Homo-oligomer: A and B are copies of this chain.
Amino acid sequence: MTPPLDLFHIRTGLQPAEREVLDATILGSATWSRGETMLPASDRDDNLHVIVSGWAARSRALRDGVRQITDFLLPGDVCDFLTTPTNGPDAVTALTDVTVAQLDRPAVRRAMQAHPAIEQAVLGLVLADQSVLRSWIVSFGLRDKREHLAHLLCELHHRLKRVGLVGDHEFELPLTQAELAEALGMTNVHTNRVVQGLRRDQLIEIGEGRVHILHPLKLREIAEFNSAYLES
């Protein structure tokens, strides 16, 4: 059992002193299982949630029920640093069983005021989130579907590697092709064909909840992936 905020600390690069301060704001933990909508425990739950383990997706739906995933939430990510209690039009869904650490929001705010490094770290996270959203827009606007998928795989690879969840270019990808399709804005049928395309070209092995990137350089080439946008 690793400490709850371990991966968060790795991401932010905070020093031990500040890590302790943030660890002290932990109130408890909560879990959801795959498929559940991650609603706050109560209407008055103003906690701040950090994902300890598991994957989640933030999404919006249109009237006809189709939904678009706008964001993947990975271990070490913050669910809702800045969100309103109601979360607005966004739904957060557990893609696997998910455990989150609950932090006391006022205490975190105080920690930010007392420790500039913590404030910097949090601002950096928000910045990085925005940058990922922009990169998704670029993928939708400028890349074809093959490139888009390649870019998403590179992004996930990079983000997971950063928190030590990638071994030898292989990592867990707990997404069905239908869920991938909801993130890429395409049909599951076409997603399947694009996946097969990358497989056929010996670029990736994928299936059973895992991906193995066989040729990282070529994949990044196809995606025109530049990790700079992910660095704080």
Instruction: Give A residues with C-beta under 8 Å from B.
Output: 58, 60, 62-63, 66-68, 70-71, 82-84, 88-90, 113, 123, 126-127, 129-131, 133-138, 140-142, 182, 184-185, 224, 226, 228-229, 232
On whether the beta carbons of B138 and A88 are closer than 8 Å, the reply is no
Check if B136 sits within 8 Å of A88, measured CB to CB.
no
Knowing A89-B229, A141-B68, A142-B185 touch, does A63 contact B224 (C-beta < 8 A)?
A: yes
CA distance in complex: A184, B184 (Å): 16
Question: Please, how many angstroms separate the alpha-carbon atoms of A99 and B103 in the complex?
Answer: 41
Per the bound structure, the CA–CA distance linking A123 and B123 in Å amounts to 11
* Contacting residues, chain B, for A71 (C-beta < 8 A): 134
Cα-based distance from A71 to B130 in the complex (angstroms): 11
Query: Cβ of A232: which chain B residues have Cβ within 8 Å of it?
Result: 84
> Are A228 and B141 also in contact (CB < 8 A) when A123-B82, A130-B130, A134-B133 are?
no
Copy number in the complex reads 2
Query: With A and B bound together, what is the CA distance between A100 and B66 in angstroms?
Result: 40
CB neighbours (8 Å) of A140 from chain B are 137, 140-141, 185
| A142-B62, A142-B185 as given contacts; A228 in contact with B88, CB under 8 Å | yes
- A141: B residues at CB distance < 8 A: 68, 140, 182, 184-185
| CA of A82 to CA of B122, assembled, Å | 11
Interface contact B88-A131, CB-CB below 8 Å: yes
A60, A71, A135: most-surrounded residue (chain B CB, <10 A)? A60
- List chain B residues, Cβ under 8 A from A228: 88-89
The 7 closest A-B CB pairs, nearest first, are A141-B185, A140-B140, A68-B141, A133-B133, A70-B134, A68-B138, A70-B137
